[in-house]
């Protein structure tokens, strides 16, 4: 018989692999932080990166090398919405904003979402996307 | 919860195992979500496990000769049991030419080893070179012409390669650098040093029999990339090479294209001729006349063959005791063997004790020459048990003929000819497959029908009748008895209710091509009358006055055993046959009791593509033209003709 999930909380490992100085254990990401990290991971994963799962991820990384204009910003937004809706079942999207910043050579991204099944306020995740090789 | 399946090579299952483990043993909960860091780590772990499992699986496969796939591993495993795979074999041709040096003072002309001729671009743009291995001398006649007669030439490039033995090189290896070498043409001589004029010829050995410390020998082993390595003696088994005494090894060999060099009959001279003073001769050379076209070229032994024969040779241990020992040894002593069958004389009727009968199908051609048969029999004596005489007998072909009415859907095809062409092409592929072309082969009726059905989506079904045929070579002008064995039971038409014609019970299960016998001018055919037991019958000769008028000319001319599939003719003097393919033949055919036909003992089963008939029939039901089937074209599943070939009426 398969093991059933016993908790509604989310707990992920931190990709920094740093040590928590208090308990000398690996740093963990909990609940909203774990989900926010998951969303960023999904957005930044290029399809084909994951072994045997060629559809996972988004084209955002590739789009960063397109013209830094509103059209690309719209395409990135569309990619982010599709990716989250397809691969992150824990959230329900409220709004996604992608703004091109040609002077800084970056796109500013703001994602607002609710966490499904948990009574917490609207979550907001903001970060900047820069083309880096 | 432990990870139990260590050899899993399915990525998803490995991933599920790791997730199950985390569910039971970890505080982390995000393993189910693809975006989580934990999921990335699980993917990495699963991928690593997958690669390890795959490698372990492949390595394990390559450890055993049954499952190994890479040639060098199969060869290496076969080497452990003393088996050296057959190398490529150069095609051999025989040529003659003459050199006119009447205006020069030349007494002897020498043809130098190396390239002697090139093919005359008969195969597209591909040209092949032919070489001679040794110097060939010809004396100039008083008329000033030197004749080079019946010079054997070998397809391929003549190569010289030398090694210097050096004790300062640890683990020195002597590797022939070229691939595609014909090892049967390899010659190894060893000298004191490069300039020495005294040399010793070293011979290839494949066992330690009759070897002492002074035997000049080398062993050969195949290494990676289809190359070969020479192994010399160590002073205990075989002469040891040492610096100063025997330190310069000179090898000559031919790098060949194998079977691609077969059937070339036109050559252009490209050799080097020297007179007795060492001066080159470039004029007066005649056109090359070909005494025999190139034949006998074959490719390197396949991996499948190595797997099969290495174990057989090992079990035979260089001794021919059982029939299968002979089958293993014959390809070793005659590399052109495509298929071989051996059986003891005690299996025959009447038994021939003390003899082993061997039939060999060569790669090129259908029969072995008398000299090759003698040579194989002599070579086999070294292996056979004292008192047992190996006898190489001629190959006996059992031909399969089929007549297929192939139903097809006209809506799915671009025309019956296209479908028919595809069907015939697939049948040809099947006829060349190893299911048939071997001793002990079996014609599998259901497989054959499937080949036709699967040829095109337009083919809906097929009705195929099978006939087996053997050719009787008539000794014209002399009385002789004949016995033809089919090795398969004959089908008797209307058992228990034979048709009555001309006040006789006649079966007509045996059909033959036409022939004439002494004393009668009419063209006759062979027929049969089953006895009441329906196991045996007697043969008769009849003539045809018209398609429906059969006249029996001579009764009880022989017997037929329907169960064993044997036809025996009493002493008959044939004077003419309607079929002649290099020899006067009477084709005798019968319908097999079972549509699956086997090649019994020395019978070599082959599908006769000249007598494979495919007729396209409109499947009116599938095509939608006749949904009720009222006008469906019905084809018989039974053979109903009386004779073979075009009938000759006697009027």
Task: Please tell me the distance from the alpha carbon of residue B404 to that of residue B422, in angstroms, as a whole number.
Answer: 14
B366 pLDDT above the threshold of 80: no
pLDDT at B431: 83
Confidence band for B263, pLDDT divided at 50, 70 and 90: confident
Of A5, A13, A51, the CB nearest to B37: A13
B256 pLDDT above the threshold of 90: yes
Cβ burial of B94 (10 Å; 0-12, 13-18, 19+) is: middle
Least confident of A126-130, B307-311, B426-430, B506-510: B506-510
Over the stretch B11-67, which tens digit does the pLDDT of each residue have?
988 898 888 888 887 778 878 888 889 999 999 999 999 999 899 888 999 999 989
Across residues B235-244, what is the average pLDDT?
87
Of B11, B23, B28, the CB nearest to A3: B23
Least confident of A26-40, A78-92, B247-261, B613-627: B613-627
DSSP letter at B199 equals E
Q: Do B30 and A14 touch (CB under 8 A)?
A: no
B363 pLDDT above the threshold of 80: no
> Which whole-number Å values give the CA distances from B36 to A42, A44, A89, in the listed order?
8, 12, 12
Task: Please tell me the distance from the alpha carbon of residue B140 to that of residue B107, in angstroms, as a whole number.
Answer: 5
pLDDT at B188: 95
pLDDT at A40: 93
| Closest residue on chain A to B24 (Cα) | A3
Contacts of A88 in chain B (CB under 8 A): 33, 35
B485 pLDDT above the threshold of 60: yes
**Mean pLDDT computed over every residue of chain B:** 86
Interface probe, candidates B37, B43, B44, B52, chain A, greatest A C-beta count within 10 A: B37
Shortest distance between the Cα of A124 and any Cα of chain B, in A, equals 17
B121 pLDDT above the threshold of 70: no
Confidence band for B1, pLDDT divided at 50, 70 and 90: very low
DSSP string covering B550-589, please? EEEEEEEEEEEETTTTEEEEEEEEEEEESEESSSEEEEEE
Of A12, A15, A37, the CB nearest to B28: A12
Cβ-based interface (< 8 Å): residues of B facing A? 1, 11-12, 20, 23-24, 27-30, 32-38, 40-41, 43, 46-47, 50
Over the stretch B195-221, which tens digit does the pLDDT of each residue have?
888 889 999 988 787 889 989 999 999
Whether the CB of A9 is below 8 Å from some CB of chain B: the reply is yes
B519 pLDDT above the threshold of 80: yes
A4 pLDDT above the threshold of 70: no
Across residues B453-479, what is the average pLDDT?
90
| Burial track B104-137 (b if 16+ CB lie within 10 A, e otherwise) | eebeebbbbbbbbbbbeeeeeeeebbbbbbeebe
Task: Please tell me the distance from the alpha carbon of residue B142 to that of residue B148, in angstroms, as a whole number.
Answer: 15
Contacts of A28 in chain B (CB under 8 A): 27-28
Task: Please tell me the distance from the alpha carbon of residue B163 to that of residue A40, in angstroms, as a whole number.
Answer: 65
Q: Cis peptide leading into B350, omega within 30 of 0?
A: yes
Confidence band for B9, pLDDT divided at 50, 70 and 90: confident
Contacts of B33 in chain A (CB under 8 A): 10, 38, 88-90
> Which whole-number Å values give the CA distances from B163 to B191, B198, B613, in the listed order?
11, 16, 60
Confidence band for B8, pLDDT divided at 50, 70 and 90: confident
| Closest residue on chain B to A6 (Cα) | B29
B3 pLDDT above the threshold of 80: no
pLDDT at A123: 93
The reported pTM is: 0.60
Confidence band for B651, pLDDT divided at 50, 70 and 90: low
Over the stretch A20-70, which tens digit does the pLDDT of each residue have?
888 888 888 888 899 999 999 999 999 999 999 999 999 999 999 999 999
DSSP letter at B497 equals S
Across residues B281-303, what is the average pLDDT?
89
| Cα B431 from chain centroid (whole Å) | 13
pLDDT at A133: 66
pLDDT at A59: 94
Contacts of A3 in chain B (CB under 8 A): 1, 20, 23-24
B559 pLDDT above the threshold of 60: yes
B333 pLDDT above the threshold of 80: yes
Percent of chain B with pLDDT over 70: 95
Q: Do A41 and B41 touch (CB under 8 A)?
A: no
Shortest distance between the Cα of B132 and any Cα of chain A, in A, equals 58
Across residues A2-14, what is the average pLDDT?
68
Over the stretch B591-643, which tens digit does the pLDDT of each residue have?
999 999 988 877 888 888 888 999 998 888 888 877 777 777 888 888 777 78
pLDDT at B498: 52
Whether the CB of A15 is below 8 Å from some CB of chain B: the reply is yes
B450 pLDDT above the threshold of 70: yes
Q: Do A3 and B40 touch (CB under 8 A)?
A: no
DSSP letter at B327 equals H
Task: Please tell me the distance from the alpha carbon of residue B229 to that of residue B484, in angstroms, as a whole number.
Answer: 50
Over the stretch B380-422, which tens digit does the pLDDT of each residue have?
888 888 888 888 888 788 899 999 999 998 888 888 888 899 9
pLDDT at B202: 94
pLDDT at B32: 82
Of A2, A15, A51, the CB nearest to B47: A51
Across residues B465-479, what is the average pLDDT?
90
* Structure-token match 């079972």, residue found: B594
| Burial track B304-320 (b if 16+ CB lie within 10 A, e otherwise) | eebbebbbbbeebebeb
């Amino acid at each position: 018989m398969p093991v059933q999930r016993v908790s509604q909380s989310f707990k992920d490992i931190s990709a920094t692999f740093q040590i928590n100085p208090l308990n000398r254990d690996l740093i963990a990401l909990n609940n909203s932080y774990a989900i926010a990290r998951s969303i960023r991971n999904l957005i930044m994963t290029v399809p084909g990166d994951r072994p045997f799962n060629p559809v996972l991820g988004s084209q955002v990384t590739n789009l960063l090398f397109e013209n830094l204009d509103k059209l690309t910003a719209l395409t990135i937004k569309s990619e982010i919405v599709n990716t989250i809706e397809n691969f992150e079942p824990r959230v329900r999207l409220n709004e996604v904003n992608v703004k091109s910043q040609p002077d800084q050579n970056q796109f500013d991204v703001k994602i607002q979402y609710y966490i499904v099944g948990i009574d917490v306020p609207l979550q907001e995740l903001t970060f900047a996307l820069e083309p880096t090789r | 919860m432990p990870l139990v399946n260590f050899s899993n090579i399915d990525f998803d299952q490995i991933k599920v195992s790791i997730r199950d483990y985390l569910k039971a043993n970890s505080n982390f909960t995000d393993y189910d979500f693809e975006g989580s860091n934990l999921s990335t780590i699980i993917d990495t772990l699963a991928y690593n496990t997958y690669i390890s499992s795959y490698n372990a699986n492949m390595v394990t496969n390559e450890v055993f000769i049954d499952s190994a796939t890479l040639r060098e591993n199969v060869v290496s495993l076969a080497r452990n049991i003393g088996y050296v795979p057959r190398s490529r074999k150069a095609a051999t041709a025989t040529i003659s030419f003459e050199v006119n040096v009447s205006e020069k003072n030349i007494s002897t002309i020498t043809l130098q080893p190396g390239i002697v001729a090139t093919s005359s671009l008969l195969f597209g743009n591909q040209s092949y070179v032919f070489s001679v291995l040794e110097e060939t001398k010809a004396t100039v006649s008083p008329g000033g012409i030197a004749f080079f007669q019946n010079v054997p030439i070998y397809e391929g490039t003549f190569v010289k390669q030398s090694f210097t033995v050096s004790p300062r090189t640890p683990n020195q290896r002597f590797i022939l650098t070229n691939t595609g070498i014909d090892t049967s043409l390899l010659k190894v001589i060893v000298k004191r040093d490069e300039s020495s004029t005294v040399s010793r010829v070293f011979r290839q050995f494949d066992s330690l029999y009759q070897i002492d410390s002074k035997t000049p020998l080398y062993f050969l082993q195949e290494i990676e990339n289809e190359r070969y390595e020479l192994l010399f003696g160590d002073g205990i088994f075989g002469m040891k090479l040492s610096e100063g005494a025997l330190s310069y090894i000179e090898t000559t060999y031919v790098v060949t294209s194998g079977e691609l060099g077969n059937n070339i009959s036109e050559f252009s001279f490209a050799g080097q001729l020297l007179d007795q003073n060492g001066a080159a001769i470039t004029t007066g050379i005649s056109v090359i006349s070909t005494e025999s076209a190139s034949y006998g070229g074959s490719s390197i032994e396949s991996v499948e063959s190595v797997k099969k024969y290495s174990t057989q040779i090992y079990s035979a241990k260089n001794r021919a005791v059982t029939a299968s020992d002979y089958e293993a040894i014959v390809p070793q002593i005659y590399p052109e063997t495509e298929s071989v069958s051996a059986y003891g004389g005690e299996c025959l009727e009447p038994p021939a004790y003390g003899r082993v009968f061997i039939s060999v199908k060569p790669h090129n051609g259908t029969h072995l020459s008398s000299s090759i048969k003698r040579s194989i029999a002599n070579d086999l004596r070294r292996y056979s048990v004292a008192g047992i005489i190996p006898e190489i007998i001629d190959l006996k072909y059992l031909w399969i003929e089929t007549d297929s009415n192939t139903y097809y859907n006209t809506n799915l095809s671009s025309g019956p000819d296209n479908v028919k062409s595809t069907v015939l092409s697939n049948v040809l592929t099947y006829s060349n497959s190893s299911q048939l072309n071997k001793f002990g082969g079996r014609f599998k009726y259901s497989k054959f029908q499937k080949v036709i059905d699967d040829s095109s989506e337009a083919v809906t079904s097929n009705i195929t009748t099978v006939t087996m045929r053997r050719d009787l070579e008539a000794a014209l002008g002399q009385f002789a008895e004949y016995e033809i064995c089919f090795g398969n039971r004959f089908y008797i038409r209307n058992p228990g209710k034979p048709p009555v014609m001309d006040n006789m019970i006649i079966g007509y299960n045996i059909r033959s091509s036409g022939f004439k016998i002494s004393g009668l001018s009419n063209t006759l055919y062979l027929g049969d009358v089953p006895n009441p037991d329906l196991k045996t019958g007697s043969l008769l000769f009849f003539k045809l006055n018209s398609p429906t008028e059969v006249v029996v000319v001579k009764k009880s001319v022989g017997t037929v055993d329907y169960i064993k599939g044997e036809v025996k003719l009493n002493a008959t003097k044939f004077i003419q046959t309607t079929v002649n393919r290099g020899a006067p033949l009477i084709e005798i055919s019968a319908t097999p009791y079972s549509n699956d036909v086997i090649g019994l003992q020395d019978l070599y089963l082959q599908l006769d593509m000249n007598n494979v008939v495919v007729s396209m029939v409109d499947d009116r039901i599938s095509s939608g033209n006749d949904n009720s089937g009222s006008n469906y074209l019905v084809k018989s599943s039974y053979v109903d003709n009386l004779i073979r070939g075009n009938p000759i009426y006697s009027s």
